[in-house]
Chain A
């Protein structure tokens, strides 16, 4: 096969991609859980996180080359900054593009259109304000090979992505499973009407859901921007793939989004090995169409939200 030669290398880079997809996919899945809607503007939450971390690290690091404990500190700063940027945009997005429609009980089509409008507004505004060229995030660490496993070289940046992602994924899983906030989210996802009768403040839960998704998506924007830089159009493709990951795992299902992200990352990298890099997105899209045709409810099923 075309990928056997490089198999483990591809798996390692696929896992790194997969962790990012998983982080973004959770934003889709959570919002889908409480609103039964695909948040089309989630790509811009991701982009905003990238820019926020760029500005913060640019100010903090400047031209210095941090290492050791300082690297870890700056990484944490970038992740938190990205998460905050994503959270703020996600919160505003819900307030401006979703809530007025929810108040009016508008048709679903209106939500999707409003979200698409928000997406185009946000990323083109970013392009206008921050320029349309890619900006390089000052690196908090020196990238290079760390160790090899099955002959695959593992770079520092992969480890950074994996560690940060695993921490956040575990956190969000625990938050949704155990906290009061998580209980609210699950209650609204299951039956919003009953939840509101039981005293759950639906508006607040929805806001919080967007914020959690925004934190993860924004942090993913930072982790993505580390190797690739940030640019106003950076959201579209990773978000489309993350959505694929969410569907793959079962929309509305948090662990499904994680598994779907990892599978998609690996499958995409293996698939690309069989074609050319320029067909990368076609491979991911092919996977989306296949999943929708064969198992539209995903691997783990649609758990958080109601079945269709």
Chain B
């Protein structure tokens, strides 16, 4: 190089080019991933985690990963039409068949059959995971999906209703320090737990749902935090920080049938499966009803919805309360299954976890909520027993947080998007509609 002058524009040109920026971002992402999966540091050696991750041969792999990612992204944008044509060809058959009601019914039945048969060949560890880590979370995700996916509201205090359901179970079965009006088997306390959670949802929802959507998020976040403090501090009512123990298992004796659920996970799994199927049918009908369409209307354009005669507050409260009652239902099921409740489990993180399941699967999509919950709840268990990946349970929320950002940047509609929601997000990005119920203010500046 003879002169300095021409070099500056070159650097600038490279920096300005989208390709280079994308490459930089991909490699940076690879390095971040290297740090995330690398060794931990400590307060006395704060840099050891970074140096152990970045000055180690493994970093080469992550840089390569970033470069491959860059290559893929670049190829995809360069050959987008060919990629689209190819994927259209591959998915042509399922897309032609899926709208057919009979085909869909067969698919559903096959999935259900698999869900019934598969657990029987698992060992007891995975059976337990299937109930405690997956089944209950599928139910929770389906419920939060009503709030976030259908109504477009951000509820960060979902745990509060789970807690209310769990403590309701404890209350009606007489496990709490305070005595109930009458003792019930948890099975019969289900409606009461659901009602209690729903009532709490209405109570919290009516004042806050009048406000802008981000205020709802922060108030629910606070409520989720408060419920834990209350559960810990009200020693005389909740049993305090030690929690409550001795919540009995479910049992029925109706029409000559006597059955008690015990310590075995499998019967609980089938109970849960039954409930999930019922809730799925109910919510699917809800989605395709007057109520579901009113939610879509509110999500898209609150002002237009109001002037089309929809009582916006009423429908928001409705979604919030339905979500709350599902959470309460799940809380009561789990409390009775593991037979205790502990305030230390009722964290704000728990609410965030459910949110991640819904977002990952696809807001507003029932299959998305199920698959999202199943995959994300299964994966940590899998990684935990395969130490090769260097996964530590305590880092879970770091990964989930990163996943949320990545999803919002690259695939806000989730892995199995609801068709309607995907269209909305696409339109909102072209300045049409809102795709959420965040209030009347105009969208963020571009």
Q: Are any A and B Cβ atoms less than 8 Å apart in their complex?
A: yes
Given A107-B435, A118-B405, CB of A128 within 8 Å of CB of B444? no
- Indicate if B73 sits at the interface (CB-CB under 8 A): no
Q: Do B444 and A111 touch across chains, with their CB atoms under 8 A apart?
A: yes
Stretch at the interface among A10-18, A32-40, A62-70, A217-225: A32-40
- What residues on A are CB-neighbors of B401 within 8 Å? 116-122, 124
CA distance A129 to B41 in the complex (A): 4
Whether B208 contacts A292 by the Cβ 8 Å rule is yes
Q: Contact partner of A130 among B41, B232, B429, CB < 8 A? A: B41
Which B-chain residue is minimally distant from A114 (CB atoms)? B408
Tell me whether B445 and A117 are in contact (CB under 8 A). Answer: no
Chain A residues within 8 Å of chain B by Cβ, number = 63
Q: Which of B177-185, B214-222, B265-273 contacts A (4 or more CB under 8 A)?
A: B214-222
Stretch at the interface among B63-71, B223-231, B252-260: B223-231
> CA–CA, A188 to B445, complex, Å?
9
CB of A129 within 8 A of CB of B40, answer yes
A96, A122, A129, A276: most-surrounded residue (chain B CB, <10 A):
A129
Expressed in whole angstroms, the Cα–Cα distance for A108 and B46 within the complex equals 36
Residue of B nearest to A128 (CB): B40
Taken together as a complex, chains A and B put the C-alpha atoms of A117 and B335 apart, in Å, by 28
Contact of B352 among A35, A120, A306 (CB under 8 A): A120
- Residues of B within 8 Å of A282, CB to CB, are 226, 229-230
Q: Contact residue range for chain B?
A: 35 or more
B398 within 8 A of A: yes
Contact flags A69-89 to B (C-beta < 8 A → 1, else 0): 000000000000000000000
Q: Tell me if B30 is interfacial: C-beta within 8 Å of chain A.
A: no
The answer to whether A114 and B42 have CB atoms under 8 Å apart is no
B421-446 contact mask (Cβ, 8 Å, vs A): 1 or 0:
00001001111001110111111111
Asked if residues A116 and B352 are in contact (CB atoms below 8 Å), the reply is yes
Q: Is B435 touching A243 in the complex (CB atoms < 8 A)?
A: no
Of chain A, the residue at the smallest CB distance from B46 is: A130
Any chain B CB within 8 A of the CB of A106? yes
Is residue A97 within 8 Å, beta carbon to beta carbon, of the partner chain?
yes
B443 engages A112 (CB within 8 Å): no
Q: Which residues of A lie under 8 Å from residue B187 when comparing CB positions? A: none
A105 and B431 form a contact (CB under 8 A): yes
- Interface bits A223-235 vs B (CB < 8 Å: 1, else 0): 0000000000000
Interface string of B174-201 (1 = CB under 8 A from A): 0000000000000000000000000000
Is there contact, CB below 8 Å, between B229 and A281? Answer: yes
Contact A112 B43 (CB under 8 A): no
Q: CA A112 – CA B363 in complex, angstroms? A: 14
Q: Is A236 engaged at the interface, CB distance under 8 Å to the other chain? A: yes
Q: Report whether B444 and A121 are in contact in the complex, using a CB–CB cutoff of 8 Å.
A: no
**Does B49 count as interface, using CB distance less than 8 angstroms?**
yes
Q: How many angstroms from the CA of A34 to the CA of B46 in the assembled complex?
A: 35
B424 CB to closest chain A CB, in angstroms? 8
A residues 91-138 in Cβ contact with B at 8 Å: 96-97, 100-114, 116-122, 124-125, 127-133, 135
Contacts of B205 in A (CB 8 A): none
A193 interface residue, CB < 8 Å from B? yes
Q: Which residues of the other chain, B, contact A40 by a CB distance below 8 angstroms?
A: 217
Contact assessment for B405 and A285 in the assembled complex, using a CB-CB cutoff below 8 Å: no
Minimum Cβ distance to chain B for residue A257 (Å): 15
- Kindly supply a per-residue 1/0 record for chain B positions 25-43, scoring 1 wherever the CB is within 8 Å of any chain A CB and 0 otherwise: 0000000000110001111
Q: Which of A55, A107, A127, A129 contacts B394 (CB 8 A)?
A: A127
Closest residue on chain A to residue B435 by CB atoms: A107
Given contacts A236-B348, A292-B219, contact A36 B397 (CB under 8 A): no
A117, A133, A236, A293: residue with the most chain B Cβ atoms closer than 10 Å: A117
When A and B form their complex, which 3 residue pairs have the shortest distance between CB atoms, in order from nearest?
A117-B404, A120-B401, A121-B401
